[in-house]
Structure 1
Amino acid sequence: MPLVTHILQVETLWKRMGFDIERFVGYVNEGLLCSICRDVLEDPLQAPCEHAFCTTCIHGWLVHHSNCPEDRQALDASVLHPLYRYMKNDLNRLQLHCKNREHGCDMVCSLESIDRHERECEYGQISCSNAGCPVQVERRNLDSHLALCEYRSRECPNGCGYTVLSTEDTQHNCVAELRTELELLRSEMICRVEEAKHEMESRLDSQRRHMVQKESMLQNEIEELKSQMSRMMSDVRSLLAAERQHRQELEQAELEKRKLPSSKKKYD
C-alpha cells in the first residue's frame, strides 16, 4: 500500500493531536511537522531515524504497527526520545494565533507561551459556574451572564434565610421550607440523643465491668490478707508457747540449782 495512503488512514483513525498549521504566522519548517498528523508538533518525540511525531500520534500508531510511518524502519516505543534541543527551541519560538481568534482575540504569541495565554484569554469559552446551567460564555462576559442567569441563587427576600434559585422563586414557600428544616433538625436531634444515650450506656457498662473486676480483685486480696493474718497468728501462738516452755525450763533449772547447796551440807 502506498505510503501516502497509509498516512491518510492514520489521520482518520486518530484525532489530530498537533497544532493546526493554519494558526501559525509565517513559514514552518517541515522538520517541525508531525509525520503522522502533519500538523505542528505537540509534546514531540523523535525516532532514531530522526522523524518526529506528536506523542499521542506515535503511541497510537505503534499500537498496530512496529515501524516508522515515514520510512518503514523498525521502531519500538522504548527507543523514542525527546526532540533535539535546537529543534525544541525552534518549535517554541514559532508564532501562532490564539485559538479564540474566531471569537475576536487578536493575540499572537510564541508556542512556548500560548497555553498560558489561552488559559486566561478573555475570549475563551467557559462554563457558567451556577450548578445546572448548561450555558458556555466568553470569560469576559461571565459576570454579566451570572447577574442574569436563571440558575443563579440568592437569599430569600422574605427573610427565611434560605438560598433559592431564580427558577424556584414561584415555588418557594417560607413556611413549608421552615417546617421541613424543623423536621430535619428534630430528626437530627433525636439521632444525636440516641447516639449520646448509647454512648453513655456503653460507658456505664464498661465502668460496671471494671468495678466488678476491681471488686473481685479486692476480694481476692482480702482473702489473701486473711490467710496471711491467720498464718501470722498461728506463728505468734507457737512463739508464745515456745517462750512459756522456755521460761518453765528456766524456772525448773533455778529450783534445781537452789536445792544443790542443802544437799551438799547434808552429806558433809
Structure 2
Amino acid sequence: MGYDLERFVGYVNEGLLCCVCRDVLEDPLQAPCEHAFCSSCINSWLVHHHSCPEDRQPLEGALLRPLFRYMRNDLSRLQIRCRNREQGCEMVCSLESVERHERECEYSLVACTNTGCPLQVERRSLQAHLSTCEFRSRECPHGCGYTILSCEDAQHSCVAELRTELELLRSEMICKMEEVRHEMESRLDSQRRHMVQKESLLKSEVEELKGQLSRVMSDVRALLGAERLHRQELEQAELEKRELLELLKSLQREGRAPGTAPAQAPPPATEGLRRPASGAHGLTLDCMKRKSREVTVI
C-alpha cells in the first residue's frame, strides 16, 4: 500500500500515484509500459494475474524495474504530514525524511518496556508511565532478595517465597540424587558383569592349568617308574656280573690246585661246548658264555 494522498501538502502529480491502490507510490517499481506501482501492490497483483493492471499488457515480475530518476526525485520532494498528526504532531517534511522523523517523533506510540504490560504510550510520556506502571519491578525492601512487581507488593510474603524456593531446591536436589543413583547402579551392574566374565575366564584357565599339571605329574611318575626299573635291571646285571667273576676265579683256582692231572691239549671248541665242565657249581661252559654275553649287552 502507498502513502495516503490526504497526508500530502500541495499538488501531487498523477504519474506519482500507484495504478493499483491509487495512493502515492511507496517503494515504487515500473513496468516496461512505464506504469508505476507500489512494490507490495504489484507483487500481490502478479500472484493472480500476468498483465499490467492499467493497460493489460503481458507483465512478469522479472520485467519490473526501478522508477525513472526524475520521477524518484519528484517523489522525494513531496511534502507530507507526520502520521502522528492526530496525536498532536504538526511536523511537515519531505517524503524522503518522513520515516526518520517518525522513528523519533515524540507523539509516536511505543510499547511499555516492562514485561507483561500491554499498554502503548506516546514516546514523550513513556518515562512518566514507567514510574507508575503496575508491571514495574523492584527488589523486595524486606531483604529477601526477590524482585517483585508493584501490583504484587501487597501479596508478597518473604517467608512464602523463601519456602517455595526451598521446595524447588529440594526437588532439584532429589532429582539430581536420583540421577546420580541410577548412574552409579548402572556402573556397578556393568562392573559386576565384567567381574563375572573375568571370573569365568580365570576359572577356565585354572582348570586348563590343572589338566596340564595332571598330565605333567603323570609323565613324571611314568619317568620315575622307568628309572626305578632301569636301576633294578642295572643292579641285577651287576650282581650277575659279580657272580660270574667269582665263578671264573673259582674255576681258575681249581685248575691250578696240586694233585691234578697233567695238562693236556685243549679239546676242540665244539667238543668243549658239548662236554660239561667240572666244578663245584655244575655249570656248563655254554651257560657261562651266555651269561657273559648278557652282562655285556646290559
Q: TM-score range by the shorter chain?
A: 0.5 to 0.7
Alignment of 1:97-176 (within 5 A): 97-176=81-160
Distance 2:152 2:112 in 1: 18
CA deviations over 1:83-115 (Å, ceiling 9, x no partner): 233323332343322212232333333333322
Residue aligned with 1:123, SS: coil
Deviation at 1:125, TM superposition (A): 0.2
State the alpha-carbon separation in 1 of the partners of residues 117 and 4 from structure 2.
31
Of the three residues 49, 59, 63, the one matched with 1:75 is 59
Q: Return the letter of the residue paired with 1:109.
A: C
Ranges in structure 2 where 5+ consecutive residues have no aligned partner: 217-298
Q: Distance in 1 between matches of 2:147 and 2:68?
A: 57
Inter-CA distance 206–26: structure 2 relative to 1 (3 Å threshold): farther
Aligned to 1:186: 170
- Shift of residue 209, structure 1, vs aligned partner: 5.7
Counterparts in 2 of 1:114 and 1:210: CA distance versus 1, 3 Å: farther
SS of equivalent residue, structure 1 residue 61: helix
Q: 1:219 to 1:96 in 2, by over 3 A?
A: farther
State whether structure 2 residue 18 is matched by structure 1 residue 18: no
RMSD: 3.5
Matched, 1:42 2:26: yes
Distance verdict in 2 for CA 1:29–1:186, change over 3 Å:
same
What are the superposed Cα offsets for residues 49-82 of structure 1, whole Å, 9 maximum, x if unpaired?
1111112212233344433222232333332222
Paired AA for residue 47 in structure 1: A
Q: 1:115-140: CA deviations, max 9, x gaps?
A: 23322322210121223322210112
Determine the C-alpha separation between the residues in 2 that align with 1:149 and 1:27.
Answer: 45
Larger displacement relative to structure 2 (33-42 or 105-114): 105-114
Distance across 1 between alignment mates of 2:198 and 2:8: 86
- Structure 1 pair 210–87 and aligned structure 2 pair: CA distance change class (3 A): farther
Structure 1 residues 211 and 92: CA distance shift in structure 2, 3 A = farther
Equivalent residue number for residue 247 of structure 2: none
2:273 — aligned with what? none
1:178, 1:31 → 2: CA distance? 70
Distance 1:210 1:139, change over 3 A: farther
- Indicate the structure whose relative CO is greater, using CA pairs within 8 Å and at least 6 residues apart: 1
The separation in 2 between residues aligned to 1:182 and 1:48, in whole angstroms, is 72
Residue 29 in 1 paired to residue 24 in 2? no
**Which of residues 167, 171, 181 in structure 2 aligns to 1:197?**
181
Match of 1:87 in 2: 71
Q: Point out the structure with max Rg over C-alpha.
A: 2
- TM-score under structure 2 normalisation? 0.61
- Rate the CA distance shift 1:45–1:205 in 2: closer, same or farther, 3 A: farther
How far 1:218 moved relative to its partner? 8.8
Distance 1:85 1:211 in 2: 86
70-79 vs 139-148, which moves further: 70-79
Indicate the larger mover: 102-111 or 45-54: 102-111
Q: Which runs of 5+ in 1 are unaligned?
A: 1-16, 234-268
Give the Cα separation in 1 of the matches to 2:77 and 2:194.
78
